[in-house]
Amino acid sequence: MRYLHILVIGALILAASFVYKIKFDSTLQAEQVAKLHGELRRERNAVATLRAEWAKLDTPSRIQALADRHLDLKPVKPRQFANFDDLPMRPLEVVPPLSGDPISAMLRLSAPETTGSLPAPTAAPR
CA atoms within 13 A on the CB side of 62: 7
pLDDT digits (tens, 9 = 90+) for 60-70: 999 999 998 99
Task: Write out pLDDT tens, residues 28-78.
Answer: 999 999 999 999 999 999 999 999 999 999 999 999 999 989 998 888 888
Total-model pTM: 0.44
pLDDT digits (tens, 9 = 90+) for 7-24: 999 999 999 999 999 999
The whole-angstrom distance between residue 13's C-alpha and the CA centroid of its chain comes to: 59
* Pick from 52, 56, 53, 77: nearest CA to 65: 56
Q: Is 100 left (phi over 0), alpha (psi -120 to 50) or beta?
A: left
> Domain-by-domain residue ranges, the chain?
2-70, 78-109
Residue 42 vs residues 11, 16, 25, 54: alpha-carbon distances, Å: 47, 39, 26, 18
